[in-house]
Amino acid sequence: MPFQNLPKTVDEAVERLLDELSLKEKAQIAKMDTSELKVLHITFGPHIREIFGFWSGNEELLESCRAFGGEKSFDVAKCSAMIINALWARLRRTHSIRAVK
């Protein structure tokens, strides 16, 4: 289900995904290594493109992706991958399981 007020920046998109994901999903994503992110791009990428209005012209978010990535040309697949990577990086900092001594 698409969000009513579409995110305009990569950070807003990450925040909305954090609100949508369960604690279990957050922990699962946090423990993934970079090679496993390919699965998220295939499975979660289309969901991101749908809920964030990429197919209905969310140009502000696309422009944010261009600025965030430092590139002039960004397609919707590359932008959703960037959002997934930003989400993963945030979750690695906040939801990684650490050994307790």
Is 32 in a helix, a strand, or coil?
A: coil
pLDDT at position 100 is: 56
Residue (of 84, 90, 89, 92) closest to 38 by Cα position: 84
pLDDT of residue 1: 46
Q: What is the pLDDT of residue 4?
A: 64
Closest listed residue to residue 53, CA positions, set 20, 6, 88: 6
Burial (CB count <10 Å: 0-12, 13-18, 19+), residue 101: exposed
List of E strands, the chain: none
Looking at residue 70, the DSSP 8-state letter turns out to be T
Intervals of the chain under pLDDT 70: 1-4, 96-101
pLDDT in tens, 56-73: 888 899 899 888 888 777
Amino acid found at 8: K
Is the CA virtual torsion 90, 81, 63, 22 positive or negative?
negative
pLDDT attached to residue 11:
95
